[in-house]
Structure 1
Amino acid sequence: MKKNKPVEVTIKDLGTHHELSIGKKMIGKVTELSENKYQAEHSHGILGIFKDQDSAHEEILRHWNLHN
Structure 2
Amino acid sequence: MKKNKDIQIRIEETKRVLKGVEYEVAELYIGKKKMGEILEYGPKDFQAFIDNDSIGGNKTFDLALESIIRHWNLHE
Bucket of the pairwise TM-score, normalised by the shorter protein: 0.7 to 0.9
Separation of aligned partners in 2, 1:57 and 1:20: 8
Which has the higher Rg, Structure 1 or Structure 2? 2
Gaps of 5+ in 2: 16-23
More strand by share: 2
Percent sequence identity is: 40
Match of 1:61 among 31, 44, 69: 69
Separation of aligned partners in 1, 2:44 and 2:25: 14
Structure 1 segment 32-51 matched on structure 2, within 5 A: 32-43=40-51, 45-51=53-59
TM-score of the pair, normalised by structure 1? 0.87
3-state SS of the aligned residue for 2:35? strand
TM-score of the pair, normalised by structure 2? 0.79
3-state SS of the aligned residue for 1:14? strand
The Cα of 1:3 is off from its aligned counterpart by 6.2
Gaps of 5+ in 1: none
Paired residues, number: 68
Two-structure CA RMSD over aligned residues (Å): 1.7
